[in-house]
Structure 1
Amino acid sequence: MSLRDKIDELKKPFGKGEKLEKWAPAINALDTFLYVPNHTTKKGAHIRDGVDLKRTMITVVLALLPALIYGMYNTGYQHFSQISGSDLSFLSCFMYGLWKVLPMVVVSYGVGLAIEFAFAIYRGHEVNEGYLVTGLLIPLIMPVDIPLWMVAISVVFAVIIGKEAFGGTGMNILNPALTARAFAFFAYPTYMSGTKVWVSEATNIDAISGETILGKLAGGKEVAYSTMDMFSGAIPGSIGETSTLWILVGALILIITGVGSWRIMAGGLIGAIGMGLIFNAVSANDLMAFPWYNHLVVGGFAFGLVFMATDPVSAAQTTKGKWIYGILVGMFCLLIRIFNPAYPEGVMMAILLMNVFAPTIDHYVIEGSVKKRKKRLAAKLKTT
């Protein structure tokens, strides 16, 4: 008996009118995870295509894997590099990072999917695949030593308040992963900021310093890392956000497959470079004097721009709106970094702020397009 036959046999008690019908979304989720759904639209306009939500989400997960793998390695490297006599081989560093990061991923997926299944059963609809990406994003934007119970509570808040309260996948106005980080940042600030949270075991070993580059600049301290160190990712920071190199690999996957908007990414770069050049010309403090190109490769800017600003649900939808949205994300990221010493990161707040204004941007873009068409029509009627 094939796997397909076994699943069909397993699904029989969950069919319509059967005693386990209420729990059908749970078993159907397993089916659609392994196989393409066998149903099609019956009415209304539709396009027959091989791309569905599941394939889109899996593509994003694949694009995240390079940053995840490097993040695991860097977790071990940052820990061992500050302890004299430690083994700095790739395998040693990666295994340490795997031991630290994997439990966070398991907790994120376990708690998040449990809530998704519960809401699907309660509401009587199928389980959506949207959390496949969110479940991996949340651990990647957290400090490595954050307690697992804090990760779990942040996930609960993000899924229930940030997503299900608005109707579930496709209805949320804020990016769920950033909602989880924002909740953790304001609820547990000592675990999400400071000089000891970005390198594993920094709080337990006096010799280890875990301050980020932006944190040092905000505190008026000297930065010893080169631009290449910042670009490659061999620096302290959130698990998946340090390596711009591997984030760019993920960006290429998203752009080539058409899953991520290159317009938003390009707009974000334009906005950040423009603000960076302006502040470099002023150079009133260390953050303003920090070269504009270094701003692009430190903190969560690259990761946020590629994987969260491009979220098709919470981002702008129109072509012109995507450019405006991306440019404003880049501009606000640097504005927040430089003018808020208490939070020298910026990208989380910038994206969440623009998530709120994305519908407004699209509204005025569409209104502007309608007015232009009316003017062209009026001019054409006059000439005829």
Structure 2
Amino acid sequence: MALIDFWKRIEPSKENQFLHATYDAFFTFMFKPNLTTKGKGVHIRDAMDLKRTMFHVVIALQLCLLVGTFNIGHQHFVALGIHTGFIEAFHLKLVFGLVQLLPIVIVANVVGLGIEFYFAARRGHAVEEGFLVSGMLIPLIMPPDIPLWMLALAVAFAVVIGKEAFGGTGMNVLNVALLARVFIFFAYPTEISGDGPWVAAWALAEDGATKVADYYWAHTMFNPLFDAAGWSTFVQGTPFVAGYSGATPLALGAAQGWAQVDAATGEVTGGILSQYSALQMWMGGIPGCIGETSKPAIIFGAIFLLITRVASWRVMLSFVIGTALTGMIFNAWDATVFMNVPWYQHFGMGGLLFAMAFMATDPVTAAQTNRGKIIYGFLIGFFGMVIRVMNPAYAEGWMLAILLMNVFAPLVDHYVLEGNISKRLKRAKEYAK
């Protein structure tokens, strides 16, 4: 009680709208509402308010965040040709990943929440909780080397144009996190496509990617601690492996087919490409967006969301079915090397599972009716695979497929409701006879 009494004593005047909105945001984050609905009555009841619902999604993302942080460092050292074992030099990889990821998380949340607080004060209401999830999702769907000023522009665009312009949390038509990513994709395509963006510090390399940055922060902060403990330390000026490209399994599959992805070694135009085992693709030791690589981490998050009933199993299941059936059709067609990739291997490449678990299930932008959720998820799987396999300029499809179905979700619900109304009218007429 002493803690809540302290918070109540420092509550600012409501006349200062910005200050009071900021206070209210932190107060409701720390304490659950004191008012609850009764067990009886003609009303809809729920065990959680919106903030707790969003916080459950944040919890579900933590394992993806942890593995993604470590993998940033792992891919960096693989590109240098040292500490190439997945758990080798664990401390160096984790520290490097943290230093690379923290600025991305901070910029995304400072820009997004700053805009949220501003609009809350202008409208005279409490700060909305929606960006609690978007602020975690946006860093996880970005490459580790994304320039921070570009990220800030993308977040501002997504929040202002994609959310606040429609009225705020619960009113947006498009998924805010994906809108930030699509802004980067179309405004600065070289920063989020190709091979380079997936290896951290590549852009900072000297002499045209022959030498890595100086690790000044590592030498001044961490190397003395690691050296005292007898652990390996960061080394200045380590050159990248000659010809290393940082190509993702998805890029390899699109260019050369499944045999190139799973080969022990191989060479194509532009230098030697990396190959990956099924275990690497499953555990997350591959280049890619920060949060999309580890399949066990994603599945854990998906199960958590299903158990807590935050996400819809109908969307997830129909998404998987739509993807699998479309992949089987492409396997039967077999017109290109990418069509020949076994349909089940697509689940281990790119952001497919991450999109299924955390993007397609967004309760605001997805379909709302039960049958509509099934149609919605199935069509995302279908369109996502079509874009992934048949679009030569973009060997991925879930971002565009989900945004497309975000737009059509109200139409899907409309026809589902119209169908239900027609069936009920027909039954009523038959009963009246």
Instruction: Give the structure-2-normalised TM-score.
Output: 0.84
- 2:267 alignment counterpart: none
> How much has 1:302 moved relative to structure 2?
0.6
> Does 1:26 find its partner at 2:77?
no
1:52-101: CA deviation from partner (whole Å, max 9, x where unpaired): 10110110000000111000111111111232333733222111111111
Whole-angstrom distance in 2 between the partners of 1:379 and 1:45: 30
Go from structure 1 to structure 2 and tell me whether the alpha carbon gap of 1:251 and 1:174 turns closer, same or farther (over 3 Å shift).
same
- 1:142 alignment counterpart: 142
Aligned AA for 1:172? N
Q: Which shows bigger deviation, 150-159 or 46-55?
A: 46-55
Whole-angstrom distance in 1 between the partners of 2:51 and 2:319: 27
> How much has 1:40 moved relative to structure 2?
6.3
Aligned AA for 1:211? A
Question: Counterparts of 1:205-284 in structure 2 under 5 Å?
Answer: 205-206=209-210, 207=241, 208-220=244-256, 222-223=260-261, 224-284=275-335
Question: Counterparts of 1:70-219 in structure 2 under 5 Å?
Answer: 70-86=67-83, 88-203=88-203, 204=205, 205-206=209-210, 207=241, 208-219=244-255
Q: Which shows bigger deviation, 361-370 or 195-204?
A: 195-204
Paired residues of 2:111 and 2:152 also in contact (CA < 8 A) = yes
> How much has 1:46 moved relative to structure 2?
4.2
Whole-angstrom distance in 2 between the partners of 1:149 and 1:131: 19
> How much has 1:214 moved relative to structure 2?
1.8
Paired residues of 1:26 and 1:127 also in contact (CA < 8 A) = yes
Whole-angstrom distance in 1 between the partners of 2:18 and 2:327: 55
Aligned AA for 2:318? G
- 1:347 alignment counterpart: 398
Paired residues of 1:78 and 1:200 also in contact (CA < 8 A) = yes
Aligned AA for 1:10? I
Paired residues of 2:79 and 2:246 also in contact (CA < 8 A) = no
Aligned AA for 1:209? S
Paired residues of 2:70 and 2:93 also in contact (CA < 8 A) = yes
> How much has 1:41 moved relative to structure 2?
8.3
Secondary structure of 1:27's aligned partner: helix
- 2:407 alignment counterpart: 356
Whole-angstrom distance in 2 between the partners of 1:9 and 1:312: 36
Whole-angstrom distance in 2 between the partners of 1:39 and 1:22: 25
Whole-angstrom distance in 1 between the partners of 2:16 and 2:419: 52
CA RMSD of aligned residues (A): 1.8
Aligned AA for 2:32? V
- 1:5 alignment counterpart: 5
Secondary structure of 1:330's aligned partner: helix
> How much has 1:228 moved relative to structure 2?
2.5
Instruction: Give the structure-1-normalised TM-score.
Output: 0.94
Go from structure 1 to structure 2 and tell me whether the alpha carbon gap of 1:46 and 1:109 turns closer, same or farther (over 3 Å shift).
farther
Q: Which shows bigger deviation, 267-276 or 221-230?
A: 221-230
Secondary structure of 2:196's aligned partner: coil
Paired residues of 1:33 and 1:54 also in contact (CA < 8 A) = yes
Whole-angstrom distance in 2 between the partners of 1:341 and 1:230: 23
Gaps of 5+ in 1: none
Go from structure 1 to structure 2 and tell me whether the alpha carbon gap of 1:213 and 1:22 turns closer, same or farther (over 3 Å shift).
closer
Secondary structure of 1:109's aligned partner: helix
Whole-angstrom distance in 2 between the partners of 1:97 and 1:181: 20
Aligned AA for 2:149? W
Secondary structure of 1:110's aligned partner: helix
Whole-angstrom distance in 2 between the partners of 1:372 and 1:227: 48
Whole-angstrom distance in 1 between the partners of 2:17 and 2:315: 43
Paired residues of 1:202 and 1:210 also in contact (CA < 8 A) = no
> How much has 1:22 moved relative to structure 2?
5.6
Go from structure 1 to structure 2 and tell me whether the alpha carbon gap of 1:27 and 1:213 turns closer, same or farther (over 3 Å shift).
same
> How much has 1:47 moved relative to structure 2?
3.9
Whole-angstrom distance in 1 between the partners of 2:118 and 2:399: 29
Aligned AA for 1:86? H
Whole-angstrom distance in 2 between the partners of 1:47 and 1:164: 27
Whole-angstrom distance in 2 between the partners of 1:79 and 1:116: 35
> Does 1:55 find its partner at 2:91?
no
Aligned AA for 1:96? F
> Kindly, what percent of the aligned residue pairs are identical?
53
Paired residues of 2:37 and 2:45 also in contact (CA < 8 A) = no
Go from structure 1 to structure 2 and tell me whether the alpha carbon gap of 1:45 and 1:293 turns closer, same or farther (over 3 Å shift).
same
Whole-angstrom distance in 1 between the partners of 2:423 and 2:252: 50
Query: How many residue pairs were aligned?
Result: 377
